[in-house]
Amino acid sequence: MTPFFRVKTLQKKGRPQIGDFDYDDELFDALRMRRKRLADAEGVPPFVIFGDATLAEMAARMPTDEAAMMAISGVGKHKLRKFGNEFIDEIINYMCR
């Protein structure tokens, strides 16, 4: 009989995990696709643009302006300036469907 080991994963405090938000799955997928297109254009892995937890928070809170976007964990001034409008547009387009 193989012994059963429990592995406890530690989460960093203050960093949202994807499971912490009740988010819109369809919007989350649309944001992931947008992130992938941007990452491919930049030649970087998608998580460099925004992590999944950040996208989940966007899909939960649905920020539609820069002030609301800055309240999302993982969005700083640099990323807001560089990518913010792309994601705000995606959210607004999703909400207007």
Query: For residue 17, what pLDDT is reported?
Result: 55
Tokens read off for 2: 């193989």
In this prediction the pTM is 0.80
**Non-local CB neighbours of 53 within 8 Å, separated by 6+ positions:** 15, 16, 17, 18, 20, 73, 74
6-38 pLDDT, tens digit each: 444 444 444 445 667 789 999 999 999 999 999
Does the pLDDT at position 5 exceed 50? no
31-95 to CATH, choices 3.30.497.10, 3.40.50.300, 1.10.8.60, 1.10.150.80: 1.10.150.80
CA distances to 15, 27, 95 from 75, in Å: 12, 18, 21
% of the chain exceeding 90 in pLDDT: 77
